[in-house]
Amino acid sequence: MNGAGPRQVLVTPRSFGRGDAALRDELAAAVDDVTWSQGGDLDADALRELVARADGWIAGLETIDRSVLESADRLKVIARYGVGVDNVDLAAAAERGIVVTNTPGANAGAVAELVVGLMLALARRIPQADRAVRQGTWGRMDGVALEGKVVGLLGFGAIGREVARRVAAMGCTVVTHDPAPAAPAAAADLGVRFAGRDEVIATSDFLSLHMPVLPDTRGSVDAAFLAAMKPGAFLVNAARGELVDEAALVEALSSGQLAGAALDALAEEPPPPGFALGALDNVILTPHVGAHTDHAVSSMGRAAMANCLAVLRGEPAPNPVAPPTQRRT
């Protein structure tokens, strides 16, 4: 590496380099030393100790708050292994001159595939049918077709576009709302129509969330939101659990306002004992696995490594995240 002094890189995502020994070897060869701490469940005390000797950090979903960064006297870059940066104190990082990066698009196809899989599982009641057969019941179980239905996307970023591509090919009508759409040409090519937020909520048979967690989106899927949805619709959330008021969702599902929900992200992960959504038969739950396919893991790993090494070489990062004062509101 160019520059004075050794370059130490901390790696904390559980799946970084999983099944890709070459990726791990390449990182080890590019820096002086790598600290592999991929066991998960790292609290603030452990993170402070680890980051104190790191120049670069390939980071997972750990909470990287101001107290952690106050110990990061050498840190030059936090290379998020994934897209979301809501767990990183961007203001504190900017104050310390730490570059924050992410890997946009690297897991878009993987998450989109899970979203479509969850829609199909809801529509055809696949988990319930599986349980029935295992319990010795062999009877017809009616479902609904995805073909011909309206799929609404709240957010039309990389993942939303990949979902649209897949469901449009299945004969769905796709409507989307995004405050600042980045790809109107892609929407036109796919036959996706932009609409107001209220229209998307009210007309969708399947409504999928693709929003970041911001002050105006946190908890926005609340009782009023759910009451405004089309009766008998399905909700899919493979974005962030903090978007959803889970108590309100339990009520909407229990009352029959919604036919079902599929959630790959929860407000608290893992959920606590007695988790109310877990008791409902019309809910499908997965443990935040949207990005975890062989292709996505490799793509995220290589993109995160490229970001980290570029900053340590004194070069611009391929995928920098703008400091808070420059971020779109």
- Please tell me whether residue 121 adopts helix, strand or coil conformation: helix
Q: How many helices (H) and strands (E) does the chain have?
A: 12, 12
Q: Looking at this protein, which amino acid is placed at residue 319?
A: N
Range of weakest confidence among 113-117, 131-135, 325-329? 325-329
Could you say which of 48, 74, 165, 288 is catalytic?
Answer: 288
Could you say which of 125, 166, 240, 302 is catalytic?
Answer: 240
Contacts (Cβ under 8 Å, ≥6 apart) of 4: none
C-alpha torsion 36→39→43→46, nearest 10: -40
120-176 tens-digit pLDDT: 999 999 999 999 999 999 988 999 999 999 999 999 999 999 999 999 999 999 999
Is 269 considered catalytic here? yes
Q: Is residue 1 part of a domain?
A: no
Could you say which of 70, 269, 295, 313 is catalytic?
Answer: 269
Q: Are residues 230 and 268 in the same domain?
A: yes
Residues in a beta bridge with 191: none
CATH of the domain at 152: 3.40.50.720
Please tell me whether the overall predicted TM-score, pTM, comes out greater than 0.75 for this model. yes
Q: Are residues 125 and 245 in the same domain?
A: yes
Q: Are residues 126 and 258 in the same domain?
A: yes
Separation of alpha carbons 81 and 255, rounded Å: 39
Could you give the number of structural domains in the chain?
2
> Domain range for residue 80?
8-104+294-326
| 199-to-104, 153, 260 alpha-carbon distances in Å | 28, 11, 20
Q: Are residues 153 and 273 in the same domain?
A: yes
Q: Are residues 12 and 119 in the same domain?
A: no
Is 292 considered catalytic here? no
Q: Are residues 207 and 317 in the same domain?
A: no
55-95 tens-digit pLDDT: 999 999 899 999 999 999 999 999 999 888 989 999 999 99
